[in-house]
Amino acid sequence: MAGQRWVGKVAAAAVVALLLLSTALPGGARREPDVNNNGRSFVFNYTLTKAVVEYAAAVYMTDLTALYTWTCSRCNDLTRGFEMTCIIVDVQNCLQAFVGVDHNLNAIIVSIRGTQENSIQNWIKDLIWKQVKLNYPNMPNAKVHIGFYSSYNNTVLRPAITNAVRKARKLHGHSDVIVTGHSMGGALASFCALDLAMSFGSNNVHLMTFGQPRVGNAAFASYFAQYVPYTVRMTHERDIVPHLPPYFFFLPKLTYKHFPREVWEHEVDGNTTYQVCDGSGEDPNCCRWGAGACFDSALECVCAVLERF
């Protein structure tokens, strides 16, 4: 069991390492990569993304002393000087998060790690269709994935993060909050960002997730776009998670839908490109166009591809 857990952590770390590697520039050159903005006004900030991915990766650390003192090998680069104010560990549910202040960005950072115990197969088997109503006012019909939402709403995460952010804002002025997470951590980060936007205002909360799954229905996605407009959902060419749970365009009311704004990282003739996707959340020319596009068209395909894992 302990061995399995360890393997899960290594696998997760490998995913993050891959993500980081794939964003590294050849030869370490600090050249801004190509951004394809489709002629739209949304601006993708590569420098900011490079810093935020360090926070999304650091929350996987199990050495809490290194995390607290911010002395991990990667904590030295763009996030040097980060001031940790709170580490939240939920052993029972295998969740971890931290809150602190990035004085360079003049922002409060919230980074969340989801559980690694449940594999993607388990999400599919047990939780894929189950949705629960959100009890925010002004969001009728919004439904979210019960497993992801419970992990945020019904654990220590929600009160502990809200308190830590409130304290940090008192101490450091009313700085912006940047919420981040990778994979299932990205799902929890989404709910956290929505919650903080409700408390502190939409203009003060930014969300940036890496390879997150879908978390709610179409109604939820459109409310989310309205309440957390500063959202960047990074996707990667070879990642399967953003295709789950599935979106069926012909059954939009019953299934899951991503919120915008996706930024799809992929290779074009050997060059890493960041494609800024359309405002729909489900741009057919982005991640959905890649290897996993078939996920969204037929359930049989979901099962067939999953069996290969």
Ligand X SMILES: *[C@@H]1O[C@H](CO)[C@@H](O)[C@H](O)[C@H]1NC(C)=O
Chain residues in the site for ligand X (CB under 6 A): 45, 47-48, 105, 132, 135, 149-150, 153-154, 268-269, 271
Q: What is the largest CA-CA distance in the chain?
A: 53
Which ranges of the chain would DSSP assign to H, the alpha helix?
A: 2-23, 46-58, 64-69, 120-122, 146-153, 157-171, 184-200, 218-227, 299-307
Long-range contacts of 277-283 (CB under 8 A, 24+ apart): 277/38, 278/38, 278/40, 279/40, 279/42, 279/225, 281/221, 281/225, 281/257, 282/247, 282/249, 282/257, 282/258
Residue 6, class by beta-carbon neighbours within 10 Å (0-12 exposed, 13-18 middle, 19+ buried)?
exposed
Least Å distance between CB 298 and ligand X? Answer: 30
Nearer to ligand X by C-beta: 62 or 154?
Answer: 154
Least Å distance between CB 220 and ligand X? Answer: 12
Nearer to ligand X by C-beta: 131 or 242?
Answer: 131
Least Å distance between CB 147 and ligand X? Answer: 11
Nearer to ligand X by C-beta: 21 or 43?
Answer: 43
Nearer to ligand X by C-beta: 5 or 130?
Answer: 130
Least Å distance between CB 123 and ligand X? Answer: 17
Nearer to ligand X by C-beta: 16 or 157?
Answer: 157
Least Å distance between CB 98 and ligand X? Answer: 19
Q: Are 131 and 217 spatial neighbours (Cβ–Cβ below 8 Å)?
A: yes
